[in-house]
C-alpha cells in the first residue's frame, strides 16, 4: 500500500504570522539557526491531507530487550522509569497550583508527564529519499515526530547516523506562514522558515527546524508504506536519554502526531508478556482493527470514550468509575478519578509508563483489599521499590487465590486483569508484589497492566477499545 501525492493542494492562508518568541531556556537557538542555514534553503513543500487509507504494522521492541539485564534488574529499571514520570507529574501539579507560577502550556505539560528519557517501547522506520532507517521511541503522550539532524550543535548518542537533510531529495523546510508552523506550541521564524523547541521536563529537550519529509514504514516490497510530506522536527540541539534510539514518534491526540497527520486516525498495539522474548506489535490505520483478533477466550471487545482534559489535550484520558478485586467492588469515592479544575488528576492510559500509578486513596483501597484477600503477612519489598508485597511461595499448608483486578470504565467497559497482569514475583527477595504504586496527583494505567490485551485507540471517534488476546501469536 502506497500513499502518494497526485497533485498539490492549495494552502489556506494563516490568519496570523507564526510567533517569533523564544523560550528563555534556549539561549543557543539563534546560534542554532545560523548553523542550520544551509539546510533551510530548500523550497517549501505543500502539505496535503487526502482521504486515502494508509495502513501498516510495525514491531514494538521494549527498551531493555536484548540486553544483559536480569529479570530483577529489568523490573527495577522499569519501576525507576515510572517513578521519574510521576515525580515530573507531581512537579507539574505543584506549578499548576501556585498562583504566581509561570503558565505551563499544554504540550509542555504533557511532555513533563511522559518524559522522553523514560520511554518504554521503540519502533523502526525510515526517513528521507533515499530512506535512512532508524529506531524511535513510541510516545502516546506527545505529538511531535523528531530525530537528530546534522550538522549537530548539541546531540546525544544514538545507534544510527544523524539525519542529513542535504542528502535527501524530499526534504523541505516548512515555511513560517504554513498552518503546520502554527500548530507548534512555541513556533518561531527565521528567514521565513519555521523553527521549533520542545521541552521534556528537566531532563530532555529538542530544538531545530520543522520540515516535511517522506517517511517509510514496514519492510519488504509487499508491506512497505511510504507517506510523503510528514511534518517532523529536524533537531540540532537535543538533550536527554533516547534509550538507544534516534528520536521520538508522537502518537498523541494533537495535530502534529503521526496518527493525526497520516489518517485514518487510529492505531492499536498488543503487548506481549513483560519479560517475553517475543516482540510486541503495533498496527496503524486500516490495519488497526480488533474484529479479527485471535482471542484466547470468548471475551468480547469492549469500548469506553476518551475524555478531553483541556490542560493536557494530547493525553489519552479515560473516565474510570471504580475498581474491583474479583467480585468485590472496592469502596473508592469516584472523585478520586476526576480531572481537577487545574487540569491535574484524572486517569491516563499510556504505553510508555511501566507499572500503574493509582491515585493515593484508590491505591490504599486496593492495598486493603489485597491484605484481606491474601492470607499472608504483608511486607515491603524495598529491593525493587514496591511496598505491597507478600512472602512467596506460600507455606505448604496455606492456599492462596489471587483475585482478578477489574477497572470499571464509563460506558460499561470492564478491563479485567488476571493476577499476572498486576502482580509480579520479585525473584531476588521471594516476594509477590503489587505492580502498582501510589500517586498524589492522578492515575496512570501502565503497560505492565496492558499485557496480552489488544488495545485500539480510535482517535477519530474518541474511543478506546480492548479485548483479551495472545499477543505473542497475533
User: 137 - beta bridge partners?
Assistant: 122, 248
Which of 64, 143, 350, 458 is catalytic? The answer is 350
Q: For residue 139, indicate whether it is catalytic.
A: yes
Give me 461's grid cell: 471517534
Assess whether 387 carries a catalytic annotation: no
For residue 84, give every residue at least 6 positions away whose Cβ sits within 8 Å of its Cβ, in sequence order, or none: 115, 117, 118, 203
Give the active site residue among 64, 139, 381, 458. 139
Q: Do 160 and 247 contact (CB within 8 A), yes or no?
A: no
Which of the residues are catalytic? 139, 350
Amino acid at each position: 500500500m502506497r500513499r502518494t501525492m497526485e497533485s498539490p493542494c492549495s494552502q489556506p492562508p494563516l490568519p496570523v504570522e507564526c510567533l517569533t518568541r523564544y523560550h528563555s531556556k534556549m539561549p543557543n537557538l539563534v546560534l542554532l539557526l545560523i548553523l542550520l542555514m544551509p539546510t533551510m534553503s530548500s523550497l517549501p513543500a505543500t502539505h496535503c491531507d487526502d482521504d486515502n487509507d494508509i495502513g501498516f504494522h510495525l514491531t514494538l521492541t521494549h527498551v531493555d530487550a536484548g540486553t544483559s539485564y536480569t529479570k530483577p534488574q529489568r523490573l527495577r529499571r522499569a519501576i525507576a522509569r515510572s517513578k521519574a514520570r510521576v515525580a515530573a507529574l507531581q512537579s507539574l501539579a505543584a506549578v499548576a497550583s501556585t498562583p504566581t507560577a509561570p503558565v505551563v502550556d499544554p504540550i509542555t505539560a504533557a511532555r513533563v508527564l511522559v518524559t522522553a528519557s523514560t520511554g518504554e517501547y521503540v519502533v523502526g522506520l525510515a526517513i528521507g529519499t533515499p530512506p535512512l532507517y532508524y529506531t524511535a521511541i513510541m510516545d502516546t503522550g506527545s505529538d511531535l515526530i523528531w530525530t537528530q539532524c546534522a550538522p549537530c550543535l548539541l546531540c546525544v548518542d544514538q545507534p544510527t547516523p544523524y539525519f542529513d537533510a542535504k542528502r535527501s531529495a524530499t526534504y523541505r523546510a516548512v515555511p513560517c506562514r504554513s498552518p503546520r508552523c502554527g500548530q507548534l506550541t512555541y513556533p518561531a521564524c527565521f528567514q521565513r522558515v519555521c523553527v521549533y523547541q520542545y521541552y521534556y521536563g528537566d531532563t530532555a529537550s529538542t530544538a531545530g527546524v520543522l520540515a516535511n519529509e517522506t517517511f517509510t514504514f514496514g519492510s519488504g516490497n509487499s508491506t512497505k508504506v511510504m507517506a510523503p510530506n510528514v511534518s517532523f522536527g529536524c533537531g540540532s540541539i537535543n538533550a536527554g536519554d533516547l534509550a538507544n534510539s534516534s528520536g521520538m514518534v508522537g502518537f498523541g491526540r494533537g495535530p502534529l502526531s503521526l496518527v493525526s497527520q497520516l489518517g485514518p486516525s487510529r492505531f492499536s498495539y498488543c503487548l506481549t508478556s513483560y519479560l517475553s522474548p517475543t516482540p510486541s506489535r503495533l498496527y496503524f490505520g486500516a490495519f488497526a482493527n480488533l474484529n479479527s483478533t485471535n482471542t484466547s477466550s470468548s471475551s468480547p471487545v469492549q469500548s469506553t470514550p476518551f475524555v478531553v482534559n483541556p490542560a493536557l489535550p494530547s493525553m489519552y484520558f479515560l473516565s474510570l468509575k471504580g475498581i474491583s478485586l474479583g467480585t468485590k467492588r472496592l469502596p473508592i469515592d469516584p472523585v478520586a478519578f476526576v480531572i481537577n479544575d487545574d487540569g491535574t488528576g484524572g486517569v491516563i492510559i499510556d504505553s510508555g509508563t511501566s507499572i500503574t500509578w493509582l491515585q493515593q486513596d484508590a491505591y490504599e483501597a486496593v492495598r486493603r483489599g489485597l491484605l484481606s484477600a491474601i492470607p499472608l503477612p504483608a511486607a515491603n519489598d524495598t529491593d525493587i521499590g514496591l511496598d505491597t508485597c507478600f512472602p512467596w511461595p506460600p507455606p505448604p499448608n496455606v492456599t492462596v487465590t489471587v483475585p482478578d483486578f477489574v477497572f470499571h470504565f464509563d460506558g460499561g467497559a470492564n478491563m479485567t486483569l488476571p493476577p499476572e497482569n498486576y502482580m509480579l514475583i520479585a525473584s531476588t527477595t521471594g516476594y509477590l508484589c503489587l505492580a502498582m504504586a501510589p500517586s498524589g496527583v492522578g492515575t496512570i494505567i501502565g503497560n505492565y497492566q496492558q499485557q496480552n490485551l489488544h488495545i485500539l485507540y480510535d482517535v477519530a471517534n474518541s474511543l478506546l477499545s480492548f479485548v483479551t488476546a495472545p499477543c505473542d501469536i497475533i
